[in-house]
Amino acid sequence: MKKISLMSLSLLIFVAGCSFFDKKEEKVAVNASTPLTATAKVIGANNESYGNAYLQEEDNGVMMTLALTGLPPGTHGIHIHEVGKCEPPKFESAGAHFNPTNKEHGKLNPNGYHLGDLPNLEIGEDGNVDLNFLAEGLTLQKDQPNSLLDSDGSAIVIHESADDYKTDPAGNSGARIACGAIQ
């Protein structure tokens, strides 16, 4: 009799345990908002890939992360341009600097600066760039005048020379050697 009782009790616990695991998972809504993000595949004049730029909305601008390889060593100007089009070899399709506030060029210009003005890139002998910086005043919110994702988009453009941070309209940074449409 004890064996039958123990077997019955064991069977009851087993069946109850199985039904516990059959319950459907309930989904709970969370009000946490995820930050807006975008990317840009950066290409060269011969359509070669240099890597990617990653963009993420922050409280006072857009955090940019560059993960690039194979660029020529040295100091290079980098800017946001007003059109999200990168047609090699000259990348003129990217238009002028992104400048929704109609300022002059350069962080050192007393009348400037464009929202598309960014810090120079220092590229080592290995041609690699792993860099994070905040581009203040920009947004990824589509309905804003300072949005990088407006109706015609925008692009990241790397120039052959350093930006002098003051000469209007482009800081004497030379030809465009790489471009990435922001999407």
Indicate left, alpha or beta for 70 from its phi (over 0: left) and psi (-120 to 50: alpha): left
CATH architecture of the domain with residue range 37-181 = Sandwich (2.60)
- The verdict on whether 117 is a catalytic residue reads yes
- The verdict on whether 76 is a catalytic residue reads no
pLDDT of residue 25: 43
Please report, for the chain, the start and end positions of each structural domain, with discontinuous segments joined by +: 37-181
Give the list of residues 6+ apart from residue 82 with CB closer than 8 angstroms, or none.
Answer: 94, 95, 96, 97, 98, 99, 116, 152, 154
Spot the catalytic one: 22, 76, 105, 163. 105
- Report whether pLDDT(1) > 70: no
- Report whether pLDDT(179) > 60: yes
Spot the catalytic one: 22, 59, 79, 126. 79
- The verdict on whether 152 is a catalytic residue reads no
Give the list of residues 6+ apart from residue 72 with CB closer than 8 angstroms, or none.
Answer: 123, 127, 160, 177
Predicted TM-score (pTM) of this structure: 0.79
pLDDT of residue 9: 43
Spot the catalytic one: 22, 59, 76, 97. 97
Spot the catalytic one: 22, 59, 76, 117. 117
